[in-house]
Amino acid sequence: MRLVLVGPPGAGKGTQAAFLSAHYSIPHISTGDIFRANMKAGTPLGLEAKAFVDRGELVSDEITNAMVRARLEESDAENGFLLDGWPRNVSQAEVLRAIMAEKKTPLNAVLEFSIPSEEIIARLSSRMTCRECGKPAEAGSTNCPSDGGELYQREDDKAEVIARRLAVYEEQTAPIIHFYRTEGLLITVSAVGEVSEITHRAIDALSRVQ
């Protein structure tokens, strides 16, 4: 299974990615993980990415695309993968299409997690994060369920910041929805409900394209 996940911040892509990658026995590939791995290893691309991060800037498409291309060449991605967080725009989607054409292994599907903006704002603005391990905790929790650490609300989980993040998503990333719909690859599932229910919906939808 060669799969791309798309959806707005707060749609639960990271959570669902973990379940789907386990279900299909494919690596979960996220740009955040790729950046951290390259910077930690001090690779040439990692050093270039770190320069952007140190300046407080987004890593350029050129570097991001090169990192993803290199990651897809690793042996664990030979029989499939799940991309989370990339592509973020139509230009990157075209790069991925070219990579897949070179490999002669097209994508199976692009899974969109659909959720109303008001649901996202309510979900994220009530989320707390552990200062120790960085894991999110449910609203109403007093301490981290993993390690008992102190909880706090991240700046980017405040309602006004979430609204701006959603606006950026609509401007920059939402156009790839139309791109993949035109390619005939888009599958949309509702991201509202219990985690297990959403996972079941996704697997059921994907079972029709294998």
Q: Is 104 a catalytic residue?
A: no
SS3 content of the chain, % helix, strand, coil (to 5): 50, 15, 30
Residue 91 half-sphere exposure toward CB, CA atoms < 13 A: 6
Element (H, E) at 4: strand 2-6
Q: Tell me the CA distances in angstroms from 168 to 27, 119, 122, 172, one per residue in order.
A: 28, 17, 18, 6
Q: Is 88 a catalytic residue?
A: yes
Q: Tell me the CA distances in angstroms from 70 to 81, 99, 109, 142, one per residue in order.
A: 13, 11, 21, 42
From the candidates 50, 135, 165, 181, give the one annotated as an active-site residue.
165
From the candidates 2, 13, 71, 123, give the one annotated as an active-site residue.
13
From the candidates 2, 71, 123, 127, give the one annotated as an active-site residue.
127
CA proximity to 89, closest of 124, 58, 118? 58
From the candidates 88, 97, 135, 181, give the one annotated as an active-site residue.
88
Q: Is 123 a catalytic residue?
A: no
From the candidates 36, 103, 131, 154, give the one annotated as an active-site residue.
154
Q: Is 165 a catalytic residue?
A: yes
List beta partners, residue 141: none
Q: Is 13 a catalytic residue?
A: yes
User: Catalytic positions, please?
Assistant: 13, 88, 127, 154, 165
